[in-house]
Amino acid sequence: MSTPHKVAIITSGGDSPGMNGAIRAIVRTAIYHGLEVIGFKYGYQGILDANYVEMNARSVSGILQRGGTILGTSRCKAFLQESGRKQAAANLDELGIDVLFVIGGNGSMRGAHELLKVWDGQVIGLPGTIDNDCGGTDFTIGYFTALDTALESIDKIRDTAEAFDRVFLVEVMGRKAGDIALGVGITGGAEEMLLPERPCDLDQVVERMVLSKERGKGSYIIVVAEGAYDGGAPRLAEELEKRTGYACRPVVLGHIQRGGSPVAMDRWFATRMGAFAVKAALQGANGVMVGIEKNELVTNPLEKTWQENKSFDPFIFEIQPMLSI
């Protein structure tokens, strides 16, 4: 494989805090190694529309602390079709792109994998999603900021829960992955954490709520991943109030979890991954996503990002009942 001369970057799917840090690291590391860099606007759609900006060291100044993504993002239906991917490949070739860096979640990595079937260039992914649901990496860019955002909300909700002696159900993002719910549940001292990976036993939840209240506990916080219960926190609150008679109030945090300035850990991971992605490209890597496993930078096949089922530390579930009494 020949040495790359020109690279491109996209951010795709849901935005996550720290994406800008990854963009900055890729741009400046690539320029240091003498590469030209462009950024496509709005993800895969930008490739199809040939909507791009040339990037230099100054174009990424002052973005490390900014949330969102300076390149914009979208979900591109046309790219789901082979005809769309072939058009994208043709546009990349016309622009002389040798390497495409894709920053996004496992859906974006699937798109990158499919692109390689019709394009002869190099594709390297970086895991940018607050859900932390990509295989091949212990943590994704944006996860820690989402945790801190949700944690701040739960700390405030706890004050009201104690003042009114109420049950609050806080819904966080995670249709298929419970990492945010688990992380914020433990760090926020929640009494319950309901995750998509662990089916909800409503009878047991009710039993624990009643026992806790009988022991004199005032506030009761249940963190609910959006995919853990059909109808989410609002529907679950209705059901629990009907069964227990306790005042149950749902709070849906929604897209607020995606926003905000990235915390130090996300800036740290984004910068390391971005620079490492360029190094991997220069060494000829292709069809891989960079990640961090046991604090070591690694590359794994793109397929691993959606095929690997990440497991939770069983010790967390062992100690949870002890911490919530």
248 token code pair: 């149950």
Q: What percent of the chain has pLDDT over 90?
A: 81
Is pLDDT at 144 greater than 90 in this prediction?
yes
Q: Does domain 6-142+262-307 have CATH number 3.40.50.450?
A: yes
Could you count the other beta carbons within 10 Å of the beta carbon of residue 228? 24
CATH 3.40.50.460 segments of the chain: 143-258
Could you give phi then psi for residue 39, rounded to 5 degrees? -125, 125
Is pLDDT at 199 greater than 90 in this prediction?
no
76 token code pair: 């591109």
Give the model's pLDDT for residue 1.
Answer: 58
Is pLDDT at 72 greater than 70 in this prediction?
yes
Q: How far apart are CA 248 and CA 220, in angstroms?
A: 9
**What distance lies between CA 275 and its chain's CA centroid?**
19
Q: How far apart are CA 16 and CA 255, in angstroms?
A: 10
Tens-place pLDDT, residues 284-312: 999 999 999 999 999 999 999 999 888 88
* Residue 318, H or E segment: helix 314-323
State which CATH number among 3.40.50.460, 3.30.70.240, 1.10.260.40, 3.50.50.60 fits the domain covering 143-258.
3.40.50.460
Query: Please, are residues 12 and 103 in contact by the beta-carbon 8 Å criterion?
Result: yes
**What distance lies between CA 238 and its chain's CA centroid?**
29
Is 131 one of the catalytic residues? yes
Give the model's pLDDT for residue 50.
Answer: 96
Give the model's pLDDT for residue 57.
Answer: 95
Amino acid at 53: V
* Max Cα distance, the chain (Å): 71
Q: How far apart are CA 85 and CA 117, in angstroms?
A: 9
Q: How far apart are CA 168 and CA 161, in angstroms?
A: 7
Give the model's pLDDT for residue 265.
Answer: 97
Catalytic choice (15, 98, 131, 266): 131
Is pLDDT at 324 greater than 80 in this prediction?
no
Is pLDDT at 158 greater than 80 in this prediction?
yes
* Residue 209, H or E segment: helix 202-214
Give, in order, the Cα–Cα distances in Å from 106 to each of 17, 18, 219, 263. 16, 17, 37, 22
Is pLDDT at 161 greater than 90 in this prediction?
no
Mean pLDDT of the chain: 93
Say how many residues make up the chain: 325
Query: Please, are residues 96 and 267 in contact by the beta-carbon 8 Å criterion?
Result: no
Residue 280, classified by CB atoms within 10 Å of its CB into exposed (0-12), middle (13-18) or buried (19+), is buried
Is pLDDT at 214 greater than 90 in this prediction?
no
CATH 3.40.50.450 segments of the chain: 6-142+262-307
Q: Which residue has the higher pLDDT, 164 or 104?
A: 104
Q: Kindly report the pTM of this predicted structure.
A: 0.94
Q: How far apart are CA 17 and CA 300, in angstroms?
A: 23
